[in-house]
Structure 1
């Protein structure tokens, strides 16, 4: 597969009578200078080394790139840029639809340029799993799943029709239909091979299974020993089209695990502890690799739970090397014996097999004794803010004090036509949801056991709680049924609502009208408890300000308690049939009980559910699709529109230019997430996007969510920076997507101001604090930014994926030096901003000069760092974005 192979590493491996070709790391070690003992290299770095060996071509990968890994082992860090080629790409439908829209638009551009549109095809294997569209409209009823699926198909018909066309029009592109599972769990249980095979020149090559995904929680697959992480949809599209991913050789932080989890503590408690530790350590942009004797006691599902949360602790990935537990899980999940044997043989031949006692060297390391982990939640608005379960009630009281509601802690608001009241801290949403935990049989069986014991005691969920169960795959339903827990979960209102992300991504659906009214009437700070991975402001539900991440069994427990202002370690959940208090300890399962329940899981469940995974039901197969290799865009569609990105692709490339007299669209403080920037959740009728839809004949009840309309740039650009919780520092005490149109002094929506500035031919910049773009890898956070006319963002620091995505859409990310940000420079957002040094001499990491002219004519001048970090990123920026670069390369070929 390598055209050069300067180290002569090509070797063969015999497994079950079949010959596989591969590039041998031990052979490379014999010839690499400075490599020393290759066993000391972290396994995740070995995957990168193999990738470079295999793809050495003298252009994108040269011998010095390979040698840089040897230098890494000596220095334990590197500033070398490498070109990395993953084996495949994984998508979910929210990010996948706009990616396929872009590919369809690229086909149009190629046809317009007089060339064959079928040039545009994924060159790498691409799987798209439809998992983000189902909403919890119906709940706590036997008909909830069937009705939610019906509504989902009805709402998303145009999108699904488009994806069905893409499935037939593009090669190397498969679609997993709705109602199957969450993309990360489908990946873990079925799509991933661990050892990937490719046919070339009549030979079978074996390589490490690697991928990038358009969801930040792609990292979950690292629990299986598969290196993968989230990228923006833009970057994923380039990878699909054969472009390497440009990256710096990462630092690798080792996380040593010892001991065993104590009785009663779950994998969720562990992952919240790990997330807090690593976020405090600071691992943004780094690999984290887990090692140590504690891994001998850590099931694969627990590893996947920890790996899933890598975006929450800020790492590129949280990697677990292949070992005996990996093989056990492959067998459990119904993989072919041929695959399992190849994984073992290849991992051992390459020195990628984990053995207890053999420990690599790392850039830095930390350690956790599993026996010290305690029952935990995280919140109210950041996944790294862990709270011990006994402290949750006191923590909530502190939140009320900080928000000026201390005097009304015990306020009770009557609920219309009900015999109960609502108070601060009451749980209005309890959701077993998200890929993080619904991949893990131990915590789901624990939830089933808690439900079973609660029903036996006569407990019920509180009537103000909206409860739901959204498993990550149909296999979960199978094993809950087989263990006998489904009926108990149903009795407590945890009926199946769908197979998808639901509440964790904001698809929690509406609260009952009377609950919503009571919250508004009393200005109540109410809670959600969910087994998800994200709890940012405004994400779960616009009326719920305090959101707590917890294990599935704790979700059930808090639904029974009905409030988060409680210490479950000593306060009763309710009363049994005899009026006696029932405590959490009375219904909490033992580790032995959980293990016995988990034993119901078997490989036949996986083989049955994934037997025809791409086929879909009759309704999916019955969706009509158009013929042709280009898409027949509909002017009437409010879901799928031909985007304006490539209108000038057949014209000469414009030279880069300085920014002169730009206006500030908004000023943001620290930790502005992609949830704040990118359109997400429900669409308000009085928002710019809502007004657009109504003007196009869409009834308010048919708005659907922003995520479902990601294929329509008109909706999405109107929803950019429109989150109800975002705070523009240019305005006093105003929440939501508003700004000041500076020349007129008028307050208006950010979208309306941007359009007004565009008419005035005024370029725009955004100013921000630390960790700009934290969170999900939402490509629309970058696409919307560029469509609003923003030329540059100046922030104190960036989250990895969003910085890359900005460049991918032609927006320049700049960084204040030494935390001398907006406040230190005395900026208000009313200045004219000019940026010098953006020309053909621009280099990665270059310092640029910014001049801010105030209303009185005085000027502030300061230097910023260009956060284009690599030469490849610079090529993308020069071309106006990554897809423009790819398209021009094709047209010029």
Structure 2
């Protein structure tokens, strides 16, 4: 049976600045007086705090706490620990069955004369229909986000993430498990979160601890600063390649180093979102001043942000780059100088097959030559120059190997990122001003992660140019990444199939496995939103952007990628006009 928490002696009161009273109480890690805690990764400290706070010598025991404190020695032994996340996040198609299960349990408990509200422990669900909003009123600790708000992960980042909970006078770190692998996006906000199966999620909702192997933690040190013109997408594709090569399956990744202070919160969320693609349980960014700035930007109150900072500083979970850093212990180490990043894309079939943009043309021809596999299509030399003639709505047209038929700005991986979205819009603006157009048979689309993107693109006046090139907003949610790209024109489909062409799709998503995007696009490349627009304009992946023009302007001159690519300063100049998401 559950007993009294043996760690009540380390409960401390967190005072508000200026003697304005107290925020509440918290379980103080420093009060344990154990020097080993200072060297623990921040992720492990979150697991430790949860074990201490929930310790009842029944579901969570004192020796579980000791296992976590001694993480450096116990994690290599694959020991198991219980973990109780602060909340559970369900998207539509996984949330509906879960809520139905809860409704059944509600009826059963009502028949037993038990209060319905005792069923649910903590559930945050993105749902669709009125009956589930009514269910919201039937339980404690349940929130339903209205339909049309956006992809669950981006809404979680912009609105739902607490960072620190304040419940019944008790403060503790936010943590979340969700029924989608990209729940990890919230790790960019300093909230420990990862994807789980439906059964695990339901058990957690009902207050049962999750049994998990105490993980190894890879320390990923970031130094330097991204060069002008290099995007967060370029960085994340590089990180994905490095971590895949290193081997991080079943592990946590924690980013640290002074380069962290040069990355925006959106850049961090972009990297965290891709955790499933590099194989880690999560890629975590501890809370620092950048996190606090984002919380204010997205409408969290000054009082809330002050509480978050005060609590995390008091409990040694806050990173302050102006203070001497205690060297933390990690299972293994990686290091990356942001200054060395360069524009790149990944493909044609896997997210970790990164190709520097300057090598893309050479790599594409190698893929045509190579035997069938992750980097090959085995197209005979004589067939590589094939030209398929077809009629597109009465206009004579041509298709070749490598021609783009789908160009999609999609997925919360990149559409949560203000800088790359504004970059894409500025590429579109410059292209329109020069008179460039997208070939009419290329299926273009823009599916942002949330309505916030629409607000700032409209506020900046840049959505007009995206629309002009065909990147109209089609909705808020996962599209091309999960084969929701829809049909391509019948004449284009026929030209591809009848001539056995290797057609291409370029998307700003996170997954590009063959058949995942569209059955007729055998070559699928992940790229930053600005590059998606650029590839739509040129109409093929068979190009060297440095030496070959992407089109001819209305003045008759060749236009190169460098002519329409925005500088970091140009993007920064637009940002203040539209960056507030609290409107």
Asked whether the 8 Å contact 1:430–1:528 carries over to 2, the reply is yes
The equivalences for 1:376-391 within 5 A come to 376-391=344-359
Asked whether the 8 Å contact 1:122–1:242 carries over to 2, the reply is no
SS at match of 2:437: coil
CA distance in 2: counterparts of 1:117 and 1:433, whole angstroms: 46
Asked whether the 8 Å contact 1:527–1:544 carries over to 2, the reply is yes
User: Alignment partner for residue 498 of structure 1, among 475, 485, 491?
Assistant: 475
Is residue 2:525 matched to residue 1:548?
yes
The equivalences for 1:293-308 within 5 A come to 293-308=258-273
Instruction: State which structure, 1 or 2, has the greater radius of gyration over its C-alpha atoms.
Output: 1
CA distance in 2: counterparts of 1:212 and 1:589, whole angstroms: 38
Is residue 2:177 matched to residue 1:193?
no
CA distance in 1: counterparts of 2:118 and 2:351, whole angstroms: 38
CA distance in 1: counterparts of 2:434 and 2:171, whole angstroms: 55
1:108 CA displacement: 6.4
Match of 1:39 in 2: 38
Is residue 2:153 matched to residue 1:184?
yes
CA distance in 1: counterparts of 2:360 and 2:96, whole angstroms: 40
SS at match of 2:449: coil
1:37 CA displacement: 4.5
1:510–1:165: structure 2 CA closer, same or farther, 3 Å change rule? farther
Is residue 2:126 matched to residue 1:129?
yes
Is residue 2:576 matched to residue 1:576?
no
CA distance in 2: counterparts of 1:278 and 1:117, whole angstroms: 49
Q: Could you list the runs of 5+ residues in structure 2 that have no partner in the other structure?
A: 372-376
CA distance in 1: counterparts of 2:214 and 2:21, whole angstroms: 37
SS at match of 1:600: helix
Asked whether the 8 Å contact 1:464–1:562 carries over to 2, the reply is no
Match of 2:96 in 1: 97
Match of 1:460 in 2: 437
1:252 CA displacement: 0.7
1:68 CA displacement: 1.1
Asked whether the 8 Å contact 1:71–1:78 carries over to 2, the reply is no
Q: Could you give the per-residue CA deviations for residues 112-164 of structure 1, whole angstroms, max 9, x where no partner exists? A: xx63586587633322225xxxxxxxxxxxxxxxxxxxxxxxxxxxx736545
1:165–1:423: structure 2 CA closer, same or farther, 3 Å change rule? farther
Asked whether the 8 Å contact 1:380–1:546 carries over to 2, the reply is yes
Q: Could you list the runs of 5+ residues in structure 1 that have no partner in the other structure?
A: 131-158, 609-893
Match of 1:21 in 2: 25
Is residue 2:329 matched to residue 1:361?
yes
Asked whether the 8 Å contact 1:5–1:54 carries over to 2, the reply is no
1:348–1:517: structure 2 CA closer, same or farther, 3 Å change rule? same
1:180–1:122: structure 2 CA closer, same or farther, 3 Å change rule? farther
1:574–1:118: structure 2 CA closer, same or farther, 3 Å change rule? farther
The equivalences for 1:771-850 within 5 A come to none
Match of 1:449 in 2: 426
Residues 444-453 or 16-25, more deviating:
16-25
SS at match of 2:208: coil
1:162–1:259: structure 2 CA closer, same or farther, 3 Å change rule? same
The equivalences for 1:629-778 within 5 A come to none
Asked whether the 8 Å contact 2:116–2:139 carries over to 1, the reply is no
Match of 1:643 in 2: none
Match of 2:236 in 1: 271
Match of 2:374 in 1: none
Match of 1:50 in 2: 49
CA distance in 2: counterparts of 1:541 and 1:97, whole angstroms: 27
Asked whether the 8 Å contact 1:89–1:124 carries over to 2, the reply is no
1:528 CA displacement: 0.9
Asked whether the 8 Å contact 2:190–2:287 carries over to 1, the reply is yes
Asked whether the 8 Å contact 2:13–2:22 carries over to 1, the reply is no
1:118–1:464: structure 2 CA closer, same or farther, 3 Å change rule? farther
Is residue 2:390 matched to residue 1:415?
yes
Match of 1:85 in 2: 84
1:171 CA displacement: 4.3
Is residue 2:296 matched to residue 1:331?
yes
1:121–1:437: structure 2 CA closer, same or farther, 3 Å change rule? farther
Match of 1:832 in 2: none
1:537 CA displacement: 2.3
1:74 CA displacement: 4.9
CA distance in 2: counterparts of 1:338 and 1:262, whole angstroms: 36
1:92 CA displacement: 1.3
Q: Could you give the per-residue CA deviations for residues 707-726 of structure 1, whole angstroms, max 9, x where no partner exists? A: xxxxxxxxxxxxxxxxxxxx
Q: Could you give the per-residue CA deviations for residues 580-599 of structure 1, whole angstroms, max 9, x where no partner exists? A: 11110110011111111222
Match of 1:404 in 2: 378
| TM-score when normalising by structure 2 | 0.93
Asked whether the 8 Å contact 2:447–2:475 carries over to 1, the reply is yes
1:97 CA displacement: 2.3
Match of 2:9 in 1: 8
RMSD of Structure 2 on Structure 1 (CA): 2.1
Asked whether the 8 Å contact 2:418–2:579 carries over to 1, the reply is no
Is residue 2:246 matched to residue 1:245?
no
CA distance in 1: counterparts of 2:506 and 2:531, whole angstroms: 8
Asked whether the 8 Å contact 2:23–2:307 carries over to 1, the reply is no
1:11–1:478: structure 2 CA closer, same or farther, 3 Å change rule? same
| TM-score when normalising by structure 1 | 0.61
1:43 CA displacement: 0.6
CA distance in 2: counterparts of 1:399 and 1:102, whole angstroms: 48
SS at match of 1:498: coil
1:468 CA displacement: 0.7
1:170 CA displacement: 4.6
